[in-house]
Amino acid sequence: MESSPEPRGTAPTALEAEVAALERMTINARAELASVLADLAQAQAQLDSLHVQQLLEANEQLVIDAVRSRAMADSTAQLVSELTKSSELDGLTGLPNRVLLFDRFSQALTHAKRRDKRLALLFLDLDQFKRINDTLGHKMGDAVLREVGRCLNACVREVDTVCRLGGDEFVLLLTEVASAADPGRVADKLVASLAQLTQVDGVAMRVSASIGISVFPDDAADVERLVDCADQAMYRAKRAGGNRYMYFSTHDAHAEAALPGKPRNAGGGAQLLEANQNLVLSAMTASAAAEQKELLLAELQHASTNKDEFLSVLGHELRNPLAPLVTTLDVMRLRAGGYETIEHATMRRHLGHLMRLVGDLQDVAKIATGKVDLRLAPVQIGDIALEAIAMAKPLLEKRQQHFSFDEAPQALTCRGDPVRLEQCIANLLINASKYTPPGGRITLTTRQDGEHAAISVKDNGRGISAEALPDVFNLFFQERGGDAQLRDAGLGVGLALVRSLVGLHSGSVSAHSDGTGLGSEFTIRLPLLGADDAELMQAGSAATADSAQPMRRILIVDDNYDAADSLGMLLRMYGHEVWVATHPVTALQMVATATPDLALLDIGLPGMSGYELAQHIRQQYPGLRVAMVALSGYGRAVDFENSRKAGFDAHLVKPVQIDELERVVRTVHFTPPTQELPGGASPGNVVPVNPSAAR
């Protein structure tokens, strides 16, 4: 039999099945690929979202910290104002104390000398006050002193000053006295007013006083001598029976004749007797005056010490919240490839200004005497002026004033501290705005004046009188007027600070005004820097900036989480290996594995101080060559000395500037511990990395 033929189409059917299977595999592969691409896109989106979220969180934290810092600064300013006011008043009577009295006395004396006017000093001592204390108790004595203070205040003008000098002694300063007889009339009024004080807190009593009067310029020409003359006259009145007043000298016969209890016998015997009595009284009071002077000096020294301690603590507390703000700004700039937004640049500018002001809090007295450290570099006056305008712009806009800037056509290069020069120009602009009414005109001009750069601020505001013009740069001076808007014009520190800072730049500042209501013009003159000098300084700066920075192994210990993390993040972006600890015990454990060659230690750590932690690291790891750098909000000379004694190689003051941090990382290395050398010298002296805070 013949076999039947194979059916047609069998081979093609198998091929089609294989092709179909391949197509299904292709579709599955494409689906899997699409799924992978979707997963990749989702992962990328999540990464981008995480990055954006981190930036948003950093910005939010920055804003929150800025608001907190502003609130803390406002509350601190209010506290400083309250402390200053309370330090100038007597705690019992609320009258000015001797510090405020002598300040007003000096101002009144200067005014009287310039205008050829008289002023008088009344030295008042209560009669038999010791008997009141001994019989009725000190509580009643305090009540009497308060009532006497009220009586004295009611008898004088607002321009006069009533001060409780101490114990039962009061001093009255009478300004602009027309004649030598006027103080006698005031003394008569005081005696009569005290005589009406017949009852205190329901207890009947008799209050009287002995009063001595001295007059400028008849009796003396200085504060100390006028007080001494009035004191001697008071003792004469007390010796004569009290409840009266006496002048120090017989410079006005009519006034002396009118005094109660004044001897009318003008014979030579009476004058000789009075001279002998004066000699005896001078000898009796010399010892008491010396003791009083020593007591006053001790009180002033104690007050100065308390002030320094308060400012030190205040500066430390203000620096702590500033530290993470500054470091976070640096991190955000580096993440953006060195680019900084306008908002971040504005925050950095005002943070820098705030940090310098906090540094000034460490020693206010040195600002008044011009002892402020400068960071000198070639600066363009035009750039400095623009920064100052940005600082003053909010006030100018708030007062709706017309401002114009007339910049010099050529570049003006000077040698100066850019922050301090910005502060000087900004102070002049802010001062002009305060003393110019809303809608007024203010002009800032820069020009070349020979070998100097001239910066002028001119306004059409309140102006300055001819009498006040010589004193406008004096500390705490203000020409008072009737304008209600000037009540909050300030304390009279800004112009004095401008003169001090400009003088440190070998420059000068002057004021001009045609009179009250005719505006004013303030001009700063700074020596111009030659082209060769500018190139030399810039070359030196470039050489320093171009120096190589080796990679370091760095341990950061700070109980402020934000400050520690942001500082660590910044150092990692510079390529360093960084370990962060927020507790000293954790830090000691990290040292064994991290083996750092640089340790940044916060001084105010919980459990143990940074000084103690440094000693533990040295003791537990004697072979470790690690450089120690102190981190602290305190920047006084004593703080640098404490760091040196504790074995630190440098001392950084918070908030740490990025250039200061780079300099420490680049230059500070391990110094073998040695014995203290004679005279306090040591090979491992601490480097004051932030000298502006150690003034």
Query: pLDDT tens, 420-431?
Result: 899 899 989 988
**Last residue of some domain: 510, 534, 558?**
534
- In the prediction, which pLDDT does 361 show? 54
Residue 240's contacts (CB-CB under 8 Å, 6 or more residues apart) are 246, 261
Question: 492 falls in which pLDDT band (50, 70, 90)?
Answer: low
Q: Give the model confidence (pLDDT) of 591-624 as tens digits.
A: 988 899 999 999 888 888 899 999 999 899 988 9
Q: How far apart are CA 695 and CA 691, in angstroms?
A: 7
- In the prediction, which pLDDT does 61 show? 67
- In the prediction, which pLDDT does 356 show? 59
- Give the CATH number for residue 679: 3.40.50.2300
Q: Do 126 and 208 touch, CB atoms closer than 8 A?
A: yes
In a domain, 600, yes or no: yes
- In the prediction, which pLDDT does 254 show? 37
What percent of the chain has a predicted confidence (pLDDT) above 90?
Answer: 23
Q: How far apart are CA 651 and CA 668, in angstroms?
A: 11
Q: Do 668 and 554 touch, CB atoms closer than 8 A?
A: no
pLDDT at 48 over 70: no
Q: Tell me: do 513 and 571 sit in the same domain.
A: no
Q: How far apart are CA 447 and CA 456, in angstroms?
A: 9
Mean residue pLDDT of the chain comes to 76
Q: How far apart are CA 571 and CA 586, in angstroms?
A: 20
Q: Tell me: do 103 and 235 sit in the same domain.
A: yes
Residue 254's contacts (CB-CB under 8 Å, 6 or more residues apart) are 181
Give me the domain span that covers residue 484: 369-534
Residue 256 or 588, more confident: 588
Question: 434 falls in which pLDDT band (50, 70, 90)?
Answer: confident
Mean pLDDT of 30-57: 70
Q: How far apart are CA 334 and CA 327, in angstroms?
A: 11
Question: 560 falls in which pLDDT band (50, 70, 90)?
Answer: confident
What single letter denotes the amino acid at residue 210?
S
- In the prediction, which pLDDT does 67 show? 65
Q: Give the model confidence (pLDDT) of 101-148 as tens digits.
A: 888 888 888 888 888 888 999 999 999 888 888 888 888 888 999 999
Report how far apart, in Å, the C-alpha atoms of 351 and of each of 344, 348, 391, 520, 625 are: 10, 5, 12, 31, 36
- Give the CATH number for residue 439: 3.30.565.10
Q: How far apart are CA 42 and CA 474, in angstroms?
A: 68
Question: 372 falls in which pLDDT band (50, 70, 90)?
Answer: low
Residue 320 has a CB neighbour count (10 Å cut-off) of 20
Q: How far apart are CA 570 and CA 553, in angstroms?
A: 14
Q: Tell me: do 503 and 557 sit in the same domain.
A: no
Distance between first and last Cα of the chain: 124
Strand order in the sheet with 553-557: 577-581, 553-557, 598-602, 627-632, 650-653, 687-688
What single letter denotes the amino acid at residue 555?
L
Helix axes 268-335, 223-239, angle to 10 degrees: 140
Calculate ∠ Cα 590-594-599, nearest 5°.
Answer: 80
- In the prediction, which pLDDT does 682 show? 36
Residue 30's contacts (CB-CB under 8 Å, 6 or more residues apart) are none
Q: How far apart are CA 614 and CA 413, in angstroms?
A: 46
In a domain, 28, yes or no: no
- In the prediction, which pLDDT does 488 show? 45
In a domain, 291, yes or no: no
Q: Tell me: do 514 and 556 sit in the same domain.
A: no
Q: Do 515 and 364 touch, CB atoms closer than 8 A?
A: no
Q: How far apart are CA 249 and CA 233, in angstroms?
A: 8
Residue 695: strand, helix, or coil: coil
Q: Give the model confidence (pLDDT) of 513-550 as tens digits.
A: 998 889 999 999 999 987 555 555 555 444 444 444 57
Nearest to 152 by CA among 131, 133, 169: 169
The tokens of 251 are what? 């410079």
Q: Tell me: do 141 and 241 sit in the same domain.
A: yes
Report strand pairing: 203-204 vs 199-200.
Answer: antiparallel
Please tell me what DSSP assigns to residue 419: H
Q: How far apart are CA 427 and CA 668, in angstroms?
A: 38
In a domain, 205, yes or no: yes
- In the prediction, which pLDDT does 508 show? 92
Mean pLDDT of 673-691: 41
Q: Tell me: do 528 and 553 sit in the same domain.
A: no
- Give the CATH number for residue 228: 3.30.70.270
What's the whole-model pTM score?
A: 0.38
Q: Do 85 and 141 touch, CB atoms closer than 8 A?
A: no
Residue 675's contacts (CB-CB under 8 Å, 6 or more residues apart) are none
Mean pLDDT of 632-653: 84
Q: How far apart are CA 97 and CA 170, in angstroms?
A: 10
Mean pLDDT of 336-342: 72
Q: Do 519 and 456 touch, CB atoms closer than 8 A?
A: no
In a domain, 35, yes or no: no
- In the prediction, which pLDDT does 687 show? 47
**Last residue of some domain: 260, 284, 319?**
260
- In the prediction, which pLDDT does 213 show? 94
Calculate ∠ Cα 296-126-284, nearest 5°.
Answer: 60
Q: How far apart are CA 339 and CA 540, in angstroms?
A: 25
pLDDT-wise least confident of 40-49, 124-133, 483-492? 483-492
In a domain, 126, yes or no: yes
What Rg do the C-alpha atoms of the chain give, in angstroms?
Answer: 38
- In the prediction, which pLDDT does 380 show? 93
- In the prediction, which pLDDT does 115 show? 83
Q: Tell me: do 212 and 169 sit in the same domain.
A: yes
Q: How far apart are CA 463 and CA 432, in angstroms?
A: 10
Q: How far apart are CA 649 and CA 683, in angstroms?
A: 10
Q: Tell me: do 494 and 593 sit in the same domain.
A: no
DSSP of 114-125: HHT-EEEEEEEE
**Last residue of some domain: 482, 512, 534?**
534
The tokens of 127 are what? 């009669």
In a domain, 643, yes or no: yes
Give the chain's domain count: 3
Nearest to 421 by CA among 383, 458, 477: 383
Q: Tell me: do 109 and 166 sit in the same domain.
A: yes
Q: How far apart are CA 161 and CA 112, in angstroms?
A: 15
Q: How far apart are CA 182 and CA 169, in angstroms?
A: 22
Q: Tell me: do 444 and 397 sit in the same domain.
A: yes
Residue 651 has a CB neighbour count (10 Å cut-off) of 28
- In the prediction, which pLDDT does 487 show? 44
Q: Tell me: do 528 and 578 sit in the same domain.
A: no
Residue 267 or 73, more confident: 73
Q: Tell me: do 589 and 673 sit in the same domain.
A: yes
Residue 684's contacts (CB-CB under 8 Å, 6 or more residues apart) are 644, 647, 649, 671, 672, 673, 674
Give φ, ψ of 264 to 5 degrees: -90, -10
The residue written with tokens 């009737």 in the block is: 482
In a domain, 208, yes or no: yes
What single letter denotes the amino acid at residue 180?
A
Maximum mean pLDDT: which of 72-86, 104-118, 187-201, 635-649: 187-201
Helix axes 182-195, 138-154, angle to 10 degrees: 140
pLDDT at 74 over 90: no
Q: Do 599 and 624 touch, CB atoms closer than 8 A?
A: no
The tokens of 607 are what? 């459990």
